Amino acid sequence: MAKLNVIDLEGNGVAEIEVSDEVFAAEVKEHLLWEVVRWQRAKRRAGTAKTKERSEVHGTHAKMFKQKGTGRARHGSSRVNVFRGGGQVHGPRPRSYEFSVNKKARAGALRSALSLRAGDGNLVVIRDLDIPEGKTRNLAAALTKLNAPKALLVDDRGNTSLVRSSRNLTSAQHIAPEGLNVYDILRFPKLLMSERSLRSVEARLLGTPAETEGGAQ
């Protein structure tokens, strides 16, 4: 099994834990990463772009001028697309950009993302992510000490000090372990996880109950 160092917010090593190779030392499949990121971004698209067709623009239904004798082209409406203020032809309509990716592919992509960060040394396990006084400046100082100015912070929603202190940081984002996803992992160069959240994610990807205590050596 792979081993990861556990540190505190000062950057001091406090323990070493064993983690599953299947989750944190798996083969990095770039195509899966690409497919799942594309899927996530497609789901986030609003799909509300809309233009008006000739039946929807404001204007008279009357024929512009008589059919013959003017020397001009024959037109029946000023609302066609060739005139200023006319309708748009084949313009965008409200639609969903979502498509499906099966659960095994999504889980495989998450394993690849975690293994990528662990393999390049950018997965940092923190014993306790409780921020003193829940102050943004205290979190910013801790991230500087950890050499992680831009980081994704993973811990339970109940950690109100982390939620409050990260809210105003543009270079860091808090996310609960159940919401951990490929796109956010790849957006940030550093991934900081509390020990309990790491065990929660590991158990989810292995399909086993999460460990509540222990695991450190």
| Residues of the chain below pLDDT 50 | 212-217
What pLDDT sits at residue 217?
38
What pLDDT sits at residue 209?
67
- Give pLDDT tens digits for 134-163: 899 999 999 999 999 999 999 999 999 999
- What would the two tokens of residue 69 be? 């004798």
What pLDDT sits at residue 210?
60
Calculate the average pLDDT of the chain.
91
What CATH topology corresponds to 2-45+98-206? Answer: Ribosomal Protein L4; Chain: A; (3.40.1370)
Q: What angle do CA 170, 172, 176 make, to 5 degrees?
A: 125
Domain positions in the chain: 2-45+98-206, 51-91
Q: What angle do CA 76, 82, 85 make, to 5 degrees?
A: 90
- Number of H helices and E strands in the chain, helices first, is 7, 6
Nearest to 127 by CA among 93, 101, 88, 155: 155
Q: What angle do CA 127, 157, 191 make, to 5 degrees?
A: 50
What pLDDT sits at residue 99?
95
